[in-house]
């Protein structure tokens, strides 16, 4: 990244802030933060003490001209911008489609037109076996990104598929913590719900690994722990509560699944175990040089990678929360 120009769409979120901090260590020429939220941009400017290498651009990936202009003279694009909250995407599927699918298409076109070296797209476990509008739109986004490697030009496109990042905006850990601190009961959608989790540091490490090692066309998946959400809530209550906090079960929301999948049964046929940290999923169609590059890699030994297959104990959940900085 030394002396490179980098564009981050949706860069004012928790992923973007951690990514910017890590990229600045690598002495880039410029980092452009492209997002719609003016207030978050002002806040982020102050957080990074108006760093001279940061350029903030108000823009929307749904506006083709804006993203085309933002990609001028850019070497790398990290595509983080998305509508990601499941209930909102269920209520407004047209908006989810415009941002997560059409907007991603505009990012691809802008990257190719401006001869960007590589685009790294952040996806979700909900794209593997989608049951929600959000998952479906992100799955289509993945397809667009992978297939973009077949288009004319030298730009490489790669996906990173993540589970839930501990502490990201709107995620369960900060919501549960806030309710516990206020002495309020915790509401669960279903006591049997399981989810994958990873720290923001591990998420950004995966992004950087995909940047450095990918050839174009892969979907990178971190090996990450999973847990029962009720167990997670009980650990937080045990560690943080000074009053009697109850857990209420409200039932799953529209589009919400009980478990998540990072690698589906179909994808396992073209998935490889790279090391003790991550898997790589290859597309079911050939991309020049890609399949050959992984010809000696070890295929995965499972049919699917599900969040309900190997759950953490409460002790392991406690350790995960401590490592993430959510428990003393």
Residues belonging to the active site: 126
Largest CA distance in the chain: 62
Report the DSSP beta bridge partners of residue 222. 278
> At 132, phi and psi to the nearest 5?
-125, 165
Q: Write the DSSP string, 105-136.
A: HHHHHHHHHTT-SEEEEEEEGGGTS--SHHHH
In whole angstroms, what is the distance from residue 271 CA to residue 300 CA?
Answer: 6
In whole angstroms, what is the distance from residue 325 CA to residue 323 CA?
Answer: 5
In whole angstroms, what is the distance from residue 228 CA to residue 197 CA?
Answer: 11
| Terminal-residue alpha carbon distance, the chain | 35
- The two structure tokens encoding residue 138: 């992100």
- The two structure tokens encoding residue 224: 């990450």
Report the DSSP beta bridge partners of residue 156. 118
CB of 143 within 8 A of CB of 106? no
Residues 6 or more apart whose Cβ sits within 8 Å of residue 131:
255, 256, 257
In whole angstroms, what is the distance from residue 2 CA to residue 243 CA?
Answer: 52
CB of 30 within 8 A of CB of 53? yes
**The total number of residues written for the chain in this structure:** 328
CB of 81 within 8 A of CB of 34? yes
Q: Write the DSSP string, 181-207.
A: HTTPPEEES-TT-EEEEE-HHHHHHHH
């Amino acid at each position: 990244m030394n002396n490179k120009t980098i564009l981050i769409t949706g860069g004012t979120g928790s992923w973007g802030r951690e990514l910017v901090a890590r990229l600045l260590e690598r002495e880039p020429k410029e980092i452009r933060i492209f997002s719609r939220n003016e207030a978050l941009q002002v806040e982020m400017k102050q957080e990074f003490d108006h760093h001279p290498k940061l350029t903030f651009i108000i823009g929307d990936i749904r506006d083709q001209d804006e993203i085309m202009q933002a990609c001028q003279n850019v070497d790398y694009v990290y595509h983080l911008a998305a509508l990601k909250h499941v209930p909102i995407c269920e209520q407004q599927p047209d908006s989810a489609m415009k941002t997560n699918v059409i907007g991603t298409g505009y990012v691809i076109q802008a990257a190719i037109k401006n001869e960007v070296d590589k685009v790294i797209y952040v996806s979700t476990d909900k794209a593997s076996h989608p049951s929600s509008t959000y998952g479906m739109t992100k799955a289509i986004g993945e397809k667009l990104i992978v297939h973009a490697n077949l288009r004319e030009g030298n730009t490489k496109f790669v996906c990173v598929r993540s589970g839930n990042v501990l502490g990201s905006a709107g995620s369960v850990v900060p919501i549960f913590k806030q309710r516990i601190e206020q002495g309020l009961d915790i509401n669960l959608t279903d006591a049997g719900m399981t989810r994958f989790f990873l720290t923001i540091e591990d998420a950004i490490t995966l992004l950087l690994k995909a940047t450095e090692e990918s050839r174009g066309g892969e979907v990178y998946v971190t090996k990450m722990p999973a847990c029962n959400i009720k167990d997670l809530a009980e650990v937080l209550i045990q560690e943080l509560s000074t009053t009697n906090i109850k857990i209420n079960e409200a039932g799953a929301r529209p589009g919400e699944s009980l478990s998540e999948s990072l690698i589906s049964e179909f994808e396992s046929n073209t998935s490889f175990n790279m090391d003790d940290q991550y898997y790589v999923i290859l597309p079911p169609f050939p991309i020049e040089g890609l399949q050959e590059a992984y010809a000696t890699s070890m295929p995965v030994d499972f049919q699917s990678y599900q969040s309900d297959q190997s759950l953490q104990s409460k002790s392991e959940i406690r350790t995960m929360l401590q490592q993430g900085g959510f428990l003393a």
